[in-house]
């Protein structure tokens, strides 16, 4: 799995960073999502998929 985001679409809800802090963070100045680990381990894939589904603006993109 490869994780990318479009920070221009981010509404700064922080749901992704709260649910999978090993993979997502937030830029301190703009408070938008940033990817910490672009290729997370298999054990986190379900959590990352759930975070992508919950993202209110569809900012998170996943490639398998």
Domains for the chain: give ranges and CATH numbers: 2-63 (3.30.70.20)
Strands (E), 1-64: 2-5, 24-26, 33-35, 60-63
pLDDT in tens, 9-43: 999 999 999 999 999 999 988 899 999 999 999 99
Count CB atoms within 10 A of the CB of residue 27: 12
Question: Residue 1's pLDDT band (boundaries 50, 70, 90)?
Answer: very high
Q: Which residues pair with 62 in a beta bridge?
A: 3
Place of tokens 């509404």: 11
Helix/strand/coil percentages in the chain, nearest 5: 30, 20, 50
């Amino acid at each position: 799995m490869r994780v990318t985001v479009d920070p221009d679409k981010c509404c700064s809800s922080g749901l992704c960073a709260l649910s999978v802090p090993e993979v997502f963070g937030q830029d301190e100045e703009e408070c938008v999502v940033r990817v910490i680990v672009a290729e997370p381990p298999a054990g986190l894939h379900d959590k990352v998929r759930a975070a992508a589904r919950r993202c209110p603006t569809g900012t998170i993109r996943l490639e398998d």
